[in-house]
Each structure stands twice: as C-alpha cells, then as structure tokens.
Chain A
Amino acid sequence: MTVDPLIELDHLVRLYGERPAVRGISLSVPPGEIFGLLGPNGAGKSTTIKMLATLLLPSAGTARIAGYDLVAQANEVRKVIGYVPEGADLYDVLTGEEFLDLVRDLHKVPPEIAAKRRAPLAEALELRRDLDRPTGEYSKGMRQKLLVMAALQHDPKVLLLDEPLDGLDVQAQEVLKSLLREHVAQGGCVVYSSHILEVVERLCHRVAILHRGAVAAVGAPDELMAQSGEESLSRLFLKITSGGETAQ
C-alpha cells in the first residue's frame, strides 16, 4: 500500500523580479519523514520554505501540502503547518504568553487544550517562567524557543523549520530534536532547512541539496554518499556546490 505524501512539489519556481531564486523544484515528503533542505547561502532554501509556509506565492509550478493546493487553499494549508521562521522579530511589547494566545486563537484551539500542550513544551524548553515577560526582553535563544512553541501548540501535521537551532543552547537543541522525532513517529513530517550539515546528516531521513535554486541531489544521506563515492555529506556538499555538478 502506498502512502500519500504530505508534501508534493512539482516544478516549483519563484522569481524575485527577473531573478530566479527557485528553479523548478520537484520533491515529495511522506509522513514519518524528516526531510532536510541543504544548500549554501542564496541556494533557495528559505524561499522554498517560505513558499511552503504560504508566505510567498510560487511564480510557476504547483505544490500540495496534506492534499491542499498551496495557492488555491492557502488557509487550509496554514491550518496543518507549523512554521519556525529564520530571524523573525516577535512583537516586543507582547509577553510570550500573549503571543502564544494570539497564535492559539488564530488556529481556533480551545484554551484548555492549548494549555495542556503548552505546559510540557514550556517545561522541556525551560521557558515556563519567562512566558509572562515581554518578548522584547528575551534573548535570541528564548525567542527561538517561543517560535518553536508557537509552531507546535496547534499540533500541525507538517513542520517547516528554517534554521531552527539558531541561538538555541545544546540542551534546547536536544529537546527540539527529540520533539521532531516524536512528531514524525506520530505520522507527521518535517522539512528542515539548515546549513549545519552534521545535524542534518544525523537527524534527517532524506536530504535535498539545493544549488542556485535547483535540486542538485536528493536522497538519504548514506545513499547519496555511497552513490557519489564521497566519505561525508560535507564533502559531497562541497563537490556539488563548488563544482556546479548536478547529481540528480
């Protein structure tokens, strides 16, 4: 029996003016998978994630998340995704609790259910005591933890993470990794964009290496290394992104 993928991209393109940032990416991510997006700066990782998060409209191509069309059913897509943006500024004058309440209400999650989900997350991420403080007083790591909580509290099927470990201490990184594993074990999927190869190699079931807006290689890290004859993902990454070779 084949399982329907939670994410399907078909020749997805995004232009910034005349300049292409993403050039015809086609991918699919099934339930139960952590999928890594790798690439150097400007490879199109964040643009791809932003399109999946409905923040940017594709210039061409189609995409579906949990069966919903990314453009025509954007709001349905938003109901099933959780998104952790890179470098997002929070509302400085709102407390962490108030921000989480805002997100909770947008997702129409009953307060008592949200509270049940929020408490263990806050405890695990060590943010419980800071939730009543204005986020303007948060450190970078605390802001990131709050964004992770906001992305998880409505129990989304699909998690879209753009450099999620940025600013997190080692303990919080481990907590987040275990949360992601737990999430996919329950039938969800994760798209994980990062340029930290070691983490992606250990955490992700499959990866796509993006180069100049296109998929240069896709597969399980072990398979990719075996196919290319490289002994590490970082060497393969360097080979692809510096030599311009496409190993689709």
Chain B
Amino acid sequence: MRLGDSLIRLFGADPDVFRPVYRAQTLILKRRARVVQRQRRGFWGTVSPFTLLCFFSGLYGLFFITLVVVAKSPLIGSGLALTLGMCFLFLVVATDNFDVLVNPRETLLLAAHPYDSRSFLLAKLAALGRSIGILTALLFGPSAVALSWAVSPLAGPAFFAGAAAASVATVTGGILIAAAIVRLKGRSAMEGMMPWMQGIFQVIYFIAIGGSGFVRLLNGTPEAVSALLWAVPSFWFLAPLELTLRGPEAAPLGRLALMAATLLLLLRVTIRWLGAGLRERLLEPEETRPRAVTRRRAAYGGGSERSRLFALLRIQLRSDWRTRSEFLLMPMMGIFFLLFYSTKRGNAALSMGVSTVFYVWLLIVSADVLTRSARPQTLWCLLTAPVDRTRLSLETIGMVRLFQLLPLLATSAAVQLWQAGVSLTSLAVLLQLLVLGDFVVIVGKAMFPEFPFSQPRIEGAVGGSRIALMLLGGLISGVTTGLLYVSRLFGNAGILATIAVLVLLRFPAWRVARRRAAAAAAHLELAAAATA
C-alpha cells in the first residue's frame, strides 16, 4: 500500500476513486483559466493557462514587494498586498474553480459511475488546494521573504501564515458567493459576470503596479492605517504579523480573534453547504428565464427598427462572453486611466494629454473589438434575421457610443469639473471631447468596417494589415491629442474652431464608414465553429 493511500484513507476517502478524479481535475485546472486571456498562437500558445496564471501571480508577488518595502509601517504595504492578492484569488475561484467544484453537467457525465461522494469531493478539494497553494506561494512568498529580510526573521513566516489563512477564507468565501449567485440567478449569471471579473482583474493589475503611490499616501496618515486594520477584513489576517511586531497587545489579539472567527465561520458554512445534497439539487431542471425571452421577442418583434437592430446586437454580444468581456473592459480601463492620470496634478498638460490619448485610442479599439467573435457559429441568429445588414453593422456605432463614449465622457467631465471647476472653458472642452469622441467612433467604424463578429477575425490571427490599422489608430489618437492641445492654447475660440472642423469632418467620415460597412456586410457568411 502506498503512503499516499494511507493518507487518503485517513480522511475517509477511497484511493481508487480519489486518484482518478484528482488526476482529471488537476488536468482541468491546468488547462483552463478564464480570468486570463491567452493568445492561441506563438509562444503564449504553448503555455498552459495555469502556467500563465502562475506567471501573473508571480508578477503580482514581485510588485507586492515594492508595496511592502516603500511602506513606513510594514502593516500598510503587507495589508495592501494581502487585499490585492485576495481579490485575485477570489476571481480565480469564482471564474474557474467554482466550476470545477460544482458542475451539474459533470454530474450527468460521471454520477452514473461508481464513486463515493466523500472521495469525489476530497479529490476535487485536493486538486483545488494544490492549485490555490501554488498561487498563494507565488503571490505572497516574495513579500514574506522581503519582510524577513527587511523587518525581522519572524515577520516573513508570520505574514505568510496570515496570507495562507486569508487564501483559505477567500476560497471558501468565493465558493459561497458563486454558489449564491448560481442559486439565485442561475449558472448563466456567472458568465454574465465574466466581464466584470476580468475588469477587476485588470484594475488589480494596475493598482499592483501603481500601488506604491497609495502606500506613500498612507505613510503620512497613521490614523487611516489604524482604521484600515479594523475596517477592512483582509487586514485582520495581518494579525500574526502584528503579533510578531508588537507583541501580544489587545488590538492585534482582537484582530486575531476576528480572523479566526471569519475563517471558521466560512469553513463551517461552506462544508455544510457542500454536504447538503448538492448533487441532487443541481440536476433539477432550471427555471425558464422570461427576461431573455422578452429581449429576444423585442429583437424580432415590436419597436422601431433601430431598437430592434440594437436589441439583436445586444443578444449577440450576450451570447459571447469573451467578446463582451473585452468590449466592456475598454471603458473600465479607460475610466481607471483617466482617473489615475488626473490625480497626477504636477503636470496638468501632460496628464490631460495622456488622458486624451487613452480616450481616443480606446474608442477606436472598441470598434475593432466588435468585429471579433469567440462563437462565430452563433451568427446564424443575425444572418437569418430579416434586417438590413449594413444598418445592423452601423448600429455598432450606437453600441460604442453608449458603452464606451458615454462612460469615458462622463469620467472626463467629472475630472475636468474637478480640476478646472465650472467655467465656460470647461464646458467648451467637454463639448470638444464629445464631438471628438463621436468623430473618432465613426472613424473607428471606417477603419474596422467588418460586420460585427465577422469571419476573418475568428481564428485569432492578427495579420499585418490589422497591426497597420491598429498603428494607424495610435497615430490618429496622437494627432488629435496634439490638435486639441494646440487648439486650447488659443482659448475658447480655438476650442470652438476645432469643434466646427470636427463637425464638418464627421460627414465625409460617416460616408466612408457606411460605404466600407456595406461592402463588408455584403461578403458576410456563416463562419465555421470555432474552438475558443
């Protein structure tokens, strides 16, 4: 008998069931990671998704060192690192690991074969534990080493002990939240949340890079740090570190109690939930969702033609979470960049310039995103709809206006009014941004005229012409930013003159966009099934 078998039996599991399930689940976890987008070709195509996830974890772990090192108190940097790391782990658990743990389709596939629930569940938990353990080590190991080196030899292990407990709490909490969403809104709701998950993932990335500025800000405000230690649950998991730094004082002991209580509560609730007839419940038929039916009916039925076209596009986008994720990520990233650079008030002209570059660039790229699809086979819904394809294609402009231009403009307006206050110039600048934004969206459509989710973009190949177009988009964003900068040197008159020019240019740009969209729509045909 192998040593491992004895250990498995110690937990009340059958090694004959545990081993094959563990092996399969480990492979699944290794080969699937939806929170990171992977190129299918080139070097990155040879790397497994889990390796990519490990790469990002290691990268975050290295960024976290800077947070720990620049902080006046090790608690600030460690707390921020722990918080960001927990957010990252939560995303991983909610997007991929939950599916591994609870998968009703899998039940249909495997439940008719001999197994016992305990071995099955333990094997899955072991596979998950291995995956989360590796990510935890990569995320928090470097900071632990840095703390041991910079603060005290015991600080590192103490921090890592807290981080390990935080990881367990995050995983159990993530499972519970995902389970609650599935229970209340159905499994499709989880896919609906993917864009937000990936958006948060991107924001964590940017905060991890630029977080040292936040730490420096906190360095001067010890009261804020003291409040954070009590108010933010992730900071409770610093209690072991606190105890090594400050000794057994009342405050760290109190937070240690909070940490232990949180962990135990989450573990208890999760274990009870997992044991409560989950298999049987998840096999029952899902209730029909009248909301989706209503939308589809609206797309084919009543309303103006424009609203029908728009509804069709929304249905199509809803059925393709990868494209939708990418599309909705744009404004999230844009808002982050606009806010991030607006806080750098040392050089107002530079921050305004950088913000405008992002504003224009993201609007152009959004038009490009709408020409891709991970599920081209779903095109049949659009192709068989009795609609004018050119108009349908041009309706993507409306989508970019609504989902990209509007939030970016609103953020720009907030930044502009915050920085310059309400004045005629501020309003003129906003009007200029609005007209520019609309012009750029039309230019974007002219550059990427293919019907939404068109065939040539499906295979994931980024051809030379596509790169050239993306560079052209960069050139346009650079030139327009320069023009805006120059126009503002001439005051309100300069700004108004730019607006007038952009309004005039809009007409030929629209004609070009329409002509190119019509040509692309005429050549559209149903794509083959992709393996995305």
A contact set with B: CB distance below 8 Å:
16, 50, 53-57, 75, 78-79, 81, 83, 85, 88-94, 98-99, 101-108, 134, 136-137, 160
Contact = CB atoms under 8 A, between A and B. Distances in A.
Contacts of A85: 108-109, 112
Interface string B314-335: 0000000000000000000000
A134 B30 CA distance: 13
Given A55-B108, A85-B108, A106 B113 contact: yes
Given A93-B32, A94-B28, A54 B112 contact: yes
Contacts of A83: 112
Interface in B1-48: 16-17, 19-21, 23-24, 27-28, 31-32
A81 B112 contact: yes
A106 B110 contact: yes
Contacts of B115: 75, 78, 106
A107 B111 contact: no
Q: A90, A93, A101 — which one has the most chain B CB atoms within 10 A of its CB? A: A93
B142 to A, nearest CB: 30
Contacts of A90: 109
Given A50-B283, A56-B283, A88-B105, A102 B111 contact: no
B257 to A, nearest CB: 42
A136 B113 contact: no
Nearest to B48: A93
A93 B28 contact: yes
B113 A107 contact: yes
A93 B31 contact: yes
B111 A54 contact: yes
A85 to B, nearest CB: 5
B284 A89 contact: no
B126 to A, nearest CB: 15
Contacts of B20: 101-102, 104-106
Nearest to B116: A75
Contacts of A16: 284-285
Chain B: number of interface residues, binned into ranges: 20 to 34
A54 B283 CA distance: 11
Contacts of A99: 24
A106 B114 contact: yes
Q: Kindly name the residue among B16, B17, B107, B113 whose own CB sees the greatest number of chain A CB atoms within 10 A.
A: B113
A36 B248 CA distance: 73
Interface in B115-151: 115-116
B46 to A, nearest CB: 15
A55 B111 contact: yes
Interface in B88-117: 105-116
A57 B111 CA distance: 12
A82 to B, nearest CB: 8
Contacts of A92: 32
B280 interface: yes
A94 B107 contact: no
B28 A79 contact: no
20 contacts: A54-B112, A55-B111, A56-B283, A78-B114, A81-B112, A83-B112, A90-B109, A91-B24, A92-B32, A93-B27, A93-B32, A94-B24, A99-B24, A102-B23, A103-B113, A105-B19, A105-B20, A108-B16, A108-B114, A137-B531
B277 to A, nearest CB: 9
Interface in B401-419: none
Contacts of A54: 111-112
Contacts of B110: 102-103, 106
A173 B27 CA distance: 32
A244 B21 CA distance: 46
A160 B112 contact: yes
A16 B283 CA distance: 11
Nearest to A103: B113
Contact of B16 (A88, A93, A103, A105): A105
Interface centre among B108, B114, B280 (most CB of A within 10 A): B114
Contacts of A56: 280, 283
Contacts of A93: 27-28, 31-32
Contacts of A91: 24, 28, 106, 109
Contacts of A108: 16, 114
A102 B19 CA distance: 9
A141 B396 CA distance: 36
Contacts of B17: 106
A78 B116 CA distance: 11
Contact of A102 (B16, B24, B105, B280): B24
Nearest to A79: B114
A98 B28 CA distance: 11
Nearest to B285: A16
A194 B28 CA distance: 32
Given A89-B109, A91-B106, A75 B28 contact: no
Contacts of A78: 112-115
Contacts of A137: 531
A79 B108 CA distance: 16
Contacts of B23: 102, 105
A55 B28 contact: no
Contacts of A102: 20-21, 23-24, 110
Nearest to A136: B531
A106 B108 CA distance: 15
Nearest to A57: B280
A91 B25 CA distance: 10
Given A93-B28, A93-B32, A137-B531, A55 B113 contact: no
Nearest to A85: B108
The 10 closest A-B pairs by CB, nearest first: A105-B20, A83-B112, A93-B31, A53-B112, A89-B105, A78-B114, A106-B113, A102-B24, A88-B108, A85-B108
Contacts of A104: 20
Contacts of A134: 31
A108 B283 CA distance: 26
